[in-house]
Amino acid sequence: MPRTFRDLIAENRRKSAFLVVGFLAFFTITIYVFTLYATGADARAGLLPALGGLGLGAILAFFSYEAGAGAILAMSGAKPIKKEDDPQLFNVVEELSIAAGLPMPRVYLIDDTAMNAFATGRGPRNAVVAITKGLRDRLNREELQGVLAHEMSHVRNYDIRFAMLLAVMVGLLALLADGFRRWMWWGGGRRRSSRDGNAFMAVIAIFAILFSIVAPILGKLIQLAASREREYLADASAVELTRNPEGLASALEKLGKDQEVLEVANRATQHLYIVNPFKPFETRSRGLLSTHPPLDERIRRLRALEGAAERRSSPVVS
């Protein structure tokens, strides 16, 4: 039985809740283990720092929800623009908002010649769509409409909330792992091992070292679980809004040929963009560790939708 948009919205809300709960649990366990390893305290003595870690994790999760979109926009160098700055762009966004039954999102521009776009926010009432100057300059109106319809589909499906939380929390996870590696490098781990040779602390040390290695991989796997299928769904939903598969297909072809690097993108935010901002993304997208499906497959599916629509509208010749 095919899933409805309500099913997608409910699923994304559940994913967002699971992501926050999982982050809190992981963060609390990490603080607990790190405290035992760094201080040599017994298991009971580490409970108080673990509770502190839970509280800190809750604060970070709240920050991710309330201020995550602002942090992502700041990291991306996106600046708000007004209707008088680009009437045609706002006209396209307004048309799509009406077609999708959504409030008008805020519009941001990234001053970069690379071609890309993303949407973010807690939900439709405070959504943001951001596009690069390179994309705005090199797409015609139909192509621009296709890209923005894709992003508005992420808004309608509540993909943006999950992706926003994911971006902030993956970034925090990477910072935590990097901080621990630096602490180990500057002698924290060596001092503990020289003072304490018991088996329990050895196990804790191994766990702590594994964390610094596994945390970035875990963040990547979470991104992968979230990203590939939602891009296909947003492409199909964009066609439903525009009734024009060729607009988005043509835009994706241009995006695929663009080899400029989007300097402001990073590991935490790469899954937000309509195409992978790291180059050469089309080659890397074929790998298992890509956050995006292959562009040629996305284009093939869009053109298949167009062909199916033409066959349905063709007159029957007897």
H-helix or E-strand spanning residue 12: helix 5-39
pLDDT of residue 192: 47
- The rounded distance, in Å, linking the Cα atoms of 287 and 279 is 13
Structure token digits, residue 18 = 């699971």
Is residue 318 pLDDT above 60, yes or no? no
pLDDT of residue 28: 75
Q: Is 188 exposed, middle or buried (0-12, 13-18, 19+ CB in 10 A)?
A: middle
pLDDT of residue 157: 86
pLDDT tens figures, 210-248: 666 666 666 666 666 556 678 888 999 999 999 999 999
What is the side-by-side order of every strand in the sheet holding 128-132? 78-80, 106-110, 128-132, 117-120
Question: Contact at 8 Å (CB) between 152 and 241?
Answer: yes
pLDDT tens figures, 66-98: 888 999 999 999 999 999 999 999 999 999 999
Mean pLDDT comparison of 38-52, 56-70, 177-191, 215-229, highest-scoring range: 56-70
Is residue 263 pLDDT above 60, yes or no? yes
- The rounded distance, in Å, linking the Cα atoms of 184 and 210 is 12
pLDDT of residue 182: 65
Count the neighbouring beta carbons within 10 Å of the beta carbon of residue 245. Answer: 23
pLDDT band per the 50, 70, 90 thresholds, residue 190: very low
**249 φ, ψ (degrees, to nearest 5):** -60, -45
The length of the chain is 318
Is residue 187 pLDDT above 70, yes or no? no
Distances from the Cα of 258 to the Cαs of 46, 135, 207, 281, 299, in angstroms?
52, 10, 43, 10, 15
pLDDT band per the 50, 70, 90 thresholds, residue 114: very high
Structure token digits, residue 140 = 């015609």
pLDDT tens figures, 134-162: 999 999 999 999 999 999 999 998 888 88
Summarize the confidence of residues 43-65 as an average pLDDT.
72
Q: Residue 280: is the preceding peptide bond cis (ω within 30°)?
A: yes
- The rounded distance, in Å, linking the Cα atoms of 126 and 224 is 26
Of 124-128, 148-152, 190-194, 228-232, which gets the smallest average pLDDT? 190-194
Task: Check residue 106 and give left, alpha or beta (phi > 0: left; psi -120 to 50: alpha).
Answer: beta
Summarize the confidence of residues 287-298 as an average pLDDT.
76
Nearest to 276 by CA among 252, 299, 300: 252
Query: Looking at residue 108, what DSSP letter applies?
Result: E
Structure token digits, residue 7 = 């099913």
**84 φ, ψ (degrees, to nearest 5):** -70, -20
Question: Contact at 8 Å (CB) between 9 and 157?
Answer: yes
H-helix or E-strand spanning residue 316: none
Identity of the residue numbered 273: Y
Q: What percent of the chain lies above the pLDDT cut of 70?
A: 65
H-helix or E-strand spanning residue 69: helix 47-75
78 beta partners: 110
Q: Is 246 exposed, middle or buried (0-12, 13-18, 19+ CB in 10 A)?
A: middle
Q: Which of 11, 94, 151, 231 is catalytic?
A: 151
Summarize the confidence of residues 278-282 as an average pLDDT.
60
Look up 297 and say whether it is catalytic.
Answer: no
What domains are there in the chain, each with its CATH number? 5-67+162-225 (no CATH), 74-159+227-311 (3.30.2010.10)
Q: Is 168 helix (H, G, I), strand (E, B) or coil?
A: helix
Is residue 180 pLDDT above 70, yes or no? no
Give the chain's mean pLDDT: 79
